[in-house]
């Protein structure tokens, strides 16, 4: 009851209406102790269709607003988020179990992408291309795409939407967002601040950014609606396959951010203290529930014993517990399913002959809350659950002898999101980041696999989906490209020297 009251107080402090629900709505639980945070109303199929239609109708006017003016809305949104950073961060902690620092860090990411997008609103550049024909020029221009559908996961309930929303809005698109049913309160609050910012600027909010609260059926309806021109979906590979097929059937774009089985290579010259710190954050942070979490540590045999002992000492004393406490570094996993998946993976590892350290449930103060000590699993070879992504705090270790072998192990999984190498050897660092090295969308040197900045494009290859969000030129996914040929002469020469006289 205390947490439920706190949710209401947080919404009130942000000037937002409290979440509305009823007996047939969605019940939201906190992973901290399993208690009920709120009940929220579910969007019906008819409401989903109506929301998409409103967004499509609004697109016709929003695309005509100059991009810098669209950027003013994103600026106001970012400023509102900054003002309410503490409240939003606490709401993330309550709803997902993230520790306080990570909740605040996610809110800061929302602010950062808004700042990036505001600058971008004056930099939606095309190209001027030399023409082979006299008195002609070629131009490349970029135009708004249409209605963007966003499907986000529970582990980043605010950041992922903002990556998409900030870019999509300055690019002239409208939005329909279906957040995870495990974290709807964060979505309701963030969406409320976006609409509040629009109203403060005198902008009509109808159809600008619609919010759908629902389960799988709501997401499917969003994907299948022909008025949606781009679906940006974050979640499992299985979900991504279904979304990709549905989008392909309608020739619409799919921007997929799926799973990751991320590895770091530890070379003989590596700074092991740096490795331990990076591995602890990347593997145990967010209770191992990041798509960029470190899953595999590929360690040179010469430093393997020393590194294992250092990791065991650190993992043994990692503060696991209530994420609301400042001293806690590892909060609960999201729910029972996550806990059971972790235990199944550890059992499979034992059956394959691996040496399993830690991983048991602890701090059981409530049967509906699942706290676990992050596990370290030693394998002689890369096999079994090491080849799969388990969304839980499990760090697999395997030794290697040759650097080319280590790169092959890094690449020998279905996903291709994030990777890292720890070395003081320039050749190894350059090889790892070359075309012969990591096959991932993110390849780091002397830093872990998680903690990407918004300035770079985020995403990965293979079963990670191939999508790119956030920085760099990721904005191009939200626009359509047109090539324009302008004839400013009085003749009509044809390309490739073709003669066609009439």
Q: What is the pLDDT of residues 393-433, one digit of tens each?
A: 999 999 999 999 999 999 999 999 999 999 999 999 999 99
Task: Pick left, alpha or beta for residue 331 (phi over 0 → left; psi -120 to 50 → alpha; otherwise beta).
Answer: beta
The DSSP string of 239-308 is HHHHHHHHHHHTT-EEEEE----EEEEE-TT--HHHHHHHHHHHHHGGGG-STT-EEEEEEETTTHHHHH
pLDDT at 501 exceeding the cut of 90: no
Q: Among this protein's residues, is 291 annotated catalytic? A: yes
CB 26 within 8 A of CB 9: no
The pLDDT of 73-84, averaged and rounded, is 98
In whole angstroms, what is the distance from residue 462 CA to residue 262 CA? Answer: 13
Look at residue 20 in the predicted model and tell me its pLDDT.
Answer: 80
463-476 pLDDT per residue, tens: 999 999 999 999 99
- Mean pLDDT of all residues in 334-355: 97
Residue among 95, 291, 389, 463 flagged as catalytic: 291
- How many C-beta atoms lie closer than 10 Å to residue 426's C-beta? 9
Per mean pLDDT, which range of 99-103, 359-363, 421-425 is the poorest? 359-363
- Enumerate the β-bridge partners of residue 11: none
Q: Which of 109, 181, 210, 257 is catalytic?
A: 257
CA dihedral 436, 437, 442, 448 (to 10 degrees): -170
For the segment 110-132, the average pLDDT, to the nearest whole number, is: 97
User: 3-class SS at 478?
Assistant: helix
DSSP letter string, 390-412: -SSSEEEEEEESSHHHHHHHHH-
Sheet (strand 136-144) strand order: 127-129, 136-144, 479-487
Q: By percentage, how much of the chain surpasses pLDDT 90?
A: 95
What is the mean pLDDT of the segment spanning 14-31? 88
pLDDT of residue 423: 98
Q: How far apart are CA 214 and CA 211, in angstroms?
A: 10
Q: Strand, helix or coil at 168?
A: helix
Mean pLDDT of the chain: 96
Determine the Cα–Cα distance for residues 447 and 422; give it in Å rounded to an integer. Answer: 7
pLDDT at 23: 63
Both structure tokens of 39: 């009940």
What pLDDT was estimated at residue 452?
Answer: 83
370 φ/ψ angles, rounded to the nearest 5 degrees: -125, 100
Beta bridge partners of 330: 320
> Coil, helix or strand for 432?
helix
pLDDT of amino acid 50: 97
- Among 313, 279, 270, CA closest to 297: 279
Helix, strand, coil share of the chain (percent; to 5) = 40, 20, 40
What is the distance between the alpha carbons of residues 8 and 16, in angstroms, rounded to a whole number?
A: 9
Residue 272 pLDDT more than 90?
A: yes
Q: How confident is the model at residue 366 (pLDDT cuts 50, 70, 90)?
A: confident
- Give tens-digit pLDDT for 184-214: 999 999 999 999 999 999 999 999 999 999 9
pLDDT at residue 118 in the model = 98
Mean pLDDT over residues 305-317, rounded? 98
Model pLDDT, residue 22: 64
- Is a pLDDT exceeding 80 seen at residue 499? yes
What's the average model confidence in pLDDT over 364-369? 82
97 touches 331 (CB < 8 A): yes
Q: Which has more confidence, 428 or 20?
A: 428
CB within 8 Å of 436: residues ≥ 6 apart:
407
CB hemisphere CA count around 85 (13 angstroms)? 16
Active site residue 6: no
Two tokens, residue 140: 């490349």
Strand duo 355-357 + 375-378: pairing: antiparallel
Average pLDDT of 56-64? 98
Residues found in the chain: 502
3-state secondary structure at position 364:
coil
């Amino acid at each position: 009851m205390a947490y439920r009251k706190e949710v209401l107080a947080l919404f009130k402090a942000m000037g937002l209406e409290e979440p509305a629900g009823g007996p047939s709505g969605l019940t939201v639980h906190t992973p901290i102790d399993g208690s009920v945070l709120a009940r929220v109303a579910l969007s019906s199929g008819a409401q989903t269709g109506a929301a998409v239609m409103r967004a499509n109708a609004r697109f016709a006017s929003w695309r005509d607003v100059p991009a810098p003016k669209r950027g003013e809305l994103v600026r106001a949104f970012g400023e509102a988020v900054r003002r309410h950073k503490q409240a939003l961060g606490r709401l993330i902690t309550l709803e997902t179990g993230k520790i306080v620092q990570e909740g605040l860090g996610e809110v800061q990411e929302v602010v950062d992408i808004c700042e990036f997008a505001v600058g971008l609103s004056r930099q939606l550049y095309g190209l001027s291309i030399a023409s082979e024909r006299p008195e002609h020029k070629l131009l490349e221009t970029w135009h708004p795409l249409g209605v963007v559908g966003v499907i986000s996961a529970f582990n980043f309930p605010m950041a992922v939407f903002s990556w998409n929303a900030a870019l999509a809005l300055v690019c002239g698109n409208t939005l329909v967002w279906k957040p995870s049913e495990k974290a709807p309160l964060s979505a309701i609050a963030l969406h409320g601040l976006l609409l509040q910012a629009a109203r403060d600027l005198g902008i009509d909010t109808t159809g600008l950014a619609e919010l759908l609260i629902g389960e799988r059926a709501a997401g499917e309806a969003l994907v299948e609606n022909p008025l949606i021109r781009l679906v940006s979906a974050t979640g499992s590979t299985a979900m991504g396959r279904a979304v990709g097929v549905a989008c392909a059937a309608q020739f619409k774009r799919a921007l997929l951010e799926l799973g990751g089985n991320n590895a770091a290579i530890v070379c003989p010259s590596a700074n092991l203290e740096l490795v331990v710190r990076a591995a602890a954050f990347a593997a145990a942070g967010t209770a191992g529930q990041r798509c960029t979490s470190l899953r595999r540590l590929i360690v040179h045999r010469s430093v393997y014993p020393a590194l294992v002992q250092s990791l065991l000492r650190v993992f043994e004393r990692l503060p696991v517990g209530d994420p609301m406490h400042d001293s806690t570094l590892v909060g609960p996993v999201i729910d029972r399913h996550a806990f059971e998946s972790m235990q199944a993976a550890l059992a499979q590892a034992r059956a394959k002959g691996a040496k399993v350290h830690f991983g048991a449930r602890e701090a059981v103060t409530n049967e509906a809350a699942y706290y676990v000590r992050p596990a370290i699993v030693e394998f002689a070879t890369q096999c079994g659950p090491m080849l799969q992504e388990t969304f839980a705090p499990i760090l697999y270790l395997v030794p290697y002898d040759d650097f080319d072998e280590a790169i092959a192990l890094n690449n020998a999984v279905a996903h291709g999101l994030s990777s890292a190498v720890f070395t003081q050897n320039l050749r190894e660092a350059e090889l790892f980041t070359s075309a012969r090295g990591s096959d991932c969308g993110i390849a780091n040197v002397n830093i872990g696999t998680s903690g990407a900045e918004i300035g770079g494009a985020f995403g990965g290859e293979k079963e990670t989906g191939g999508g790119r969000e956030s920085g760099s030129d990721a904005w191009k996914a939200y626009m359509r490209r047109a090539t324009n040929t302008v004839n400013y002469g009085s003749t009509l020469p044809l390309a490739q020297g073709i003669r066609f006289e009439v």
